[in-house]
Structures are given as C-alpha cells and as structure tokens.
A and B are shown apart, each in its own frame.
Chain A
C-alpha cells in the first residue's frame, strides 16, 4: 500500500530546482500526504519527513535533499519496477542479484542514511548490459577449468584428444591430429583437428571446454606461419598424417 503511493509522490516532486518556488505548496501537500501512510509502516521515515515539512527555508536545497533521499530509499528498498523509473539501470538488468543485495542492505542502509542525512552509501559498481555475456562466459570457463584444466593450444600443435562418446561407453575414443584452426568464442571455443585416417582426410571440430573431453595433450608442434591452415586440404596427404 505504501509502495503504491510513493511512485506518484516521486513524479509530483519537481525535477528542476527552479520550479520549486512556484510549487512550494504542492510540495508540502505531497509530503503531508506521504507521511500518513508511512506512519504505520516505517516510523523513522515519517519522523524525518515531518521535520522537513516544518522547515522549508530554502526550497531549492530542500528539494534536492528530499529528492536525493527519496531516490536512494527507492532504489534500496523497492522492487525493480519502481527503481527503473528513476533510471536505476542496475536493477533492471540483474534483477536477481540486485534484489538479493538490495533486500539485505535495505535495513542497514536505511539506518545509515537516516543517521547521516548528508553522507551517501558506498556505490556498488554498475554492471553494464554489454558486459553480461563476458561475465557469464568467464564464469562458465572457470567452472569448466576447475573440473579439467585446458592447456594452451595454438594452431600448428599436434594434439591427442581422449573423448568419451556416449554411444561407445566402454572405451575412450582417441583423436590425434594437427590443429588447423582455433575459434575463440568464450565457452564455445573450438579447435579443428585434421588427420588422414585410412587414406581419407577427416576434420573434426572439438569444443575445448566440453565435459566429454577427458584429456587433451599436446604431443608436438609444427612451425606454421598462419592462424588457419586450410591449405593442408590441397596438399599431399603425407603432410596431414600422424602416427
């Protein structure tokens, strides 16, 4: 109930300080309206708002303090929808994270802001929209590295991969060959292995961080002057044969 009144109250509070002198009356009305529903819920809130109503010396300063106070309280204690109106970009993108943090800190920060009305709480670093995939990929790679560390593999390495195939549950399949390319894409970083098997060239793409891969071992290294060795497809089979 109290939460429903607050957003409207926020919108009626003037954004620019110059408008304050003309709307002084509206301001005090709004405050008196706000204090009554809040009395039941949060005593500390109404105490502060009543002191503000009494002393409107400098409307500009009061408006700015009031707005700052309300905005801080809003982003801390309300849900994402209300906070978004004030431009709280943090809450919109990572609702689960901020909500948990917000609720935990709501109690602590309310007291902090009320005790020291001028001091701001320490700002949490904002997570931007563009960073989310990078963070998710990094976490996924870390989780996979914990299970099995992945060695540094570059184009031109001759590697041996032990793969667990669900159909062939008895034994691990072994794939050996030269890495002809490496595509970096976060958790789906892949390497392409080429080898001549029984006279026919076979290329297999393996995702490096796959849980099916039980072991990757770099056996040798061939000096190459390219990042993608697609020219090996046209060359003699001898160059792609590995015992």
Chain B
C-alpha cells in the first residue's frame, strides 16, 4: 500500500504506487503480484498515468529467504507490469530478476530477463 515501485519493462510506465497485494493480508513480497496505480509514465506508452494495473514484484529491498538457508535482497523495489492472466505487457525486462519467479510460474518474465540473480 502506497509503496512506489520502479517499473522495469518497456510498457510505458515509470513509477507505480501499490494499492493492494493480490494475495495475502500482510502485503506482497518478492515474487508476488500487486495491484498498482500508474503515477508516472512515458508520453507514448502502452499504459497511461492514472491507469490501474497489475504487476509482479521482481526486486525488493526486503530480503527473501530461500529454502536452502540463503537470502537475497536487492537495492531497490521494482515491478514488471502484467495483465490479469500473468503475461507481461512489455517486451523487455531490465535488470536482474530472482529465481523465485520460476516457482510462481512467471516463466515469460524469466525468459525476457538478462540476468537471473
């Protein structure tokens, strides 16, 4: 809620503000989907300012534990915009993405990413 996240695909938005975590009462973590409102956008893009979109959190400054005892944390909070079915709106993803997306079945985002952390 109210967290401003960076958009790291070429869908046209620059910054979105989280309105709701789609699943879970306690909020969304790395790998979860959120409902967000676009706060800042590029002039010619697929999404415009004020639009309500869904996104997948691909980078979080809060550490996320893995099952082997390791933890991963990034320096910023970033999101990739997706449609209701989970397919990304953009065609490119910038920056590293974590493994956790594989378990959440966001295979398309993983395949678009340049680096998997």
Q: Report which A residues bind B (CB closer than 8 A).
A: 165, 167-168, 173, 188, 190, 197-207, 210, 212, 233
Q: Report which B residues bind A (CB closer than 8 A).
A: 59, 63, 68-76, 78, 94-96, 99, 102-103, 114-117
Question: Contact check: which of B68, B71, B94 meets A198 at CB < 8 Å?
Answer: B94
User: Bound complex: CA of A114 vs CA of B72, how far in Å?
Assistant: 65
3 A-B pairs closest in CB distance: A201-B75, A205-B71, A207-B69
Select from chain A the residue with minimum beta-carbon distance to B103.
A167
Residues A202 and B72 in contact, CB atoms below 8 Å apart:
yes
Chain B residue contacts of A200, Cβ below 8 A = 59, 74-76, 78, 95-96
Q: Count the A-B residue pairs with Cβ separation under 8 angstroms: how many?
A: 56
User: Bound complex: CA of A205 vs CA of B74, how far in Å?
Assistant: 12
Answer whether A204 and B71 are a contact pair too, CB < 8 Å, given A167-B102, A167-B103, A197-B115. yes
Chain A residue contacts of B63, Cβ below 8 A = 203, 205
Chain A residue contacts of B114, Cβ below 8 A = 198
Residues B69 and A202 in contact, CB atoms below 8 Å apart:
no
Q: Could you say which of A167, A190, A200 has the most chain B C-beta atoms within 10 Å of its C-beta?
A: A200
Question: Contact check: which of A165, A190, A197, A203 meets B73 at CB < 8 Å?
Answer: A203
Q: How far is the CB of A228 from chain B (nearest CB, A)?
A: 15
Select from chain B the residue with minimum beta-carbon distance to A237.
B75
Supply 19 A–B pairs (Cβ within 8 Å), ascending by A: A165-B99, A167-B103, A168-B99, A188-B69, A197-B95, A198-B94, A198-B95, A200-B76, A200-B95, A202-B117, A204-B71, A204-B117, A205-B63, A205-B72, A207-B69, A210-B68, A210-B69, A210-B70, A233-B75
